[in-house]
């Protein structure tokens, strides 16, 4: 089984993984780190994966379709946000029209809160993964074995929404929050699939790395959607050793 992780193309540079999905005037552009963490987990499960950032590659829809055709995946994993969803729906519908046998999985802030909106408005999406999907995606892929997962195999997978064989939308129970020390180092995924010079943060010199030291937040800032969607209101930390070990890896093993 092969999974193509796509940071979907858009009309201009945006950061779907940031608290507001846009490239700022200061030039900040986030890594697609939610996708990248899931890529690392899938690799740990022995799944054949590829991560393509269509934003930094300036891919058009046609470029994206060519990438899909070249890699020939069984699954596509992507994200959408509320400001970009209409554009993303059109993109995903075109992908489904071109490759009807590929299962498309979609996660992120918007699908987490409005999974029915995604499944009703975008026929291209087969499965919505809600909240933290790091271990949900490999579970979906592994459930299918050597073939594409079917409806019967989805019923016990936590944290997903999908259409059953009758077209009815089913919401499985939520998945427990992730133990952050069980996540692989995302810096290794960046090193394998991305160019660190493509990303920027206003307060950091280039090249720079963005890793996650915690998830969740108890606060209610009105510009940030993550506490109420992906990470929850419970603030969770990685262990000091795991975090420092990754920082040391970045400093010593990445160019």
The pLDDT confidence band at residue 225, using thresholds 50, 70 and 90, is confident
Whether the Cβ atoms of residue 95 and residue 50 lie closer than 8 Å to each other: no
How many domains is the chain built from? Answer: 1
Cα 13 to Cα 24: distance, rounded to the nearest angstrom: 9
Angle, helix 240-253 to helix 186-193, in steps of 10 degrees: 30
Task: CATH number of the domain at 122, please.
Answer: 3.40.50.280
Average pLDDT over the chain, rounded to an integer: 94
For 190-219, write each residue's pLDDT tens digit. 999 999 999 998 888 889 999 999 999 888
Segment 226-246 shows an average pLDDT of 92
Whether the Cβ atoms of residue 143 and residue 153 lie closer than 8 Å to each other: yes
DSSP 187-250: HHHHHHH--GGG-B-TTSPSS-----SEE--S---TT--STTTTS-SS-EE--HHHHHHHHHHH
The pLDDT confidence band at residue 13, using thresholds 50, 70 and 90, is confident
Of 90, 172, 170, 161, nearest to 127 by C-alpha is: 161
For 97-144, write each residue's pLDDT tens digit. 999 999 999 999 999 999 999 999 999 999 999 999 999 999 999 998
> Does the structure show a pLDDT above 90 at 33?
yes
Q: What is the pLDDT of residue 203?
A: 85
For residue 207, whether the previous peptide bond is cis, meaning omega lies within 30 degrees of 0, is yes
Q: What is the pLDDT of residue 21?
A: 66
Q: What is the pLDDT of residue 12?
A: 87
> Does the structure show a pLDDT above 70 at 79?
yes
Q: What is the pLDDT of residue 253?
A: 95
Q: Can you give the residue range of the structural domain that contains 248?
A: 1-255
Q: What is the pLDDT of residue 140?
A: 97
In which element (H, E) is residue 78 found?
Answer: strand 75-79
């Amino acid at each position: 089984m092969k999974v193509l992780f796509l940071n979907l193309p858009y009309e201009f540079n945006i950061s779907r993984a940031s608290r507001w999905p846009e490239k700022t005037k200061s030039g900040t552009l986030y890594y697609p780190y939610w996708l990248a963490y899931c890529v690392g987990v899938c690799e740990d499960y022995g799944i054949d994966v590829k991560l393509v950032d269509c934003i930094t590659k300036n891919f058009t829809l046609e470029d994206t379709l060519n990438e899909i055709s070249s890699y020939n995946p069984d699954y596509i994993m992507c994200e959408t946000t509320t400001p970009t969803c209409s554009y993303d729906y059109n993109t995903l519908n075109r992908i489904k029209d071109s490759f009807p046998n590929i299962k498309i999985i979609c996660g992120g802030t918007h699908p987490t809160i409005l999974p029915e909106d995604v499944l009703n408005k975008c026929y291209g999406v087969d499965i919505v993964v809600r909240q933290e999907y790091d271990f949900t995606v490999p579970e979906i892929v592994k459930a299918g074995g050597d073939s594409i997962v079917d409806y019967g195999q989805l019923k016990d997978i936590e944290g997903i929404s999908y259409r059953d064989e009758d077209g009815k939308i089913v919401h499985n129970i939520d998945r427990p929050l992730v133990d952050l020390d069980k996540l692989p180092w995302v810096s290794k995924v960046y090193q394998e699939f991305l160019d660190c010079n493509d990303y920027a943060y206003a307060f950091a010199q280039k090249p720079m790395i963005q890793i996650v030291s915690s998830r969740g937040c108890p606060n209610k800032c009105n510009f940030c959607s993550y506490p109420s969607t992906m990470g929850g209101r419970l603030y969770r930390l990685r262990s000091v050793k795991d975090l420092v070990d990754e920082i040391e890896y970045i400093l010593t093993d990445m160019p």
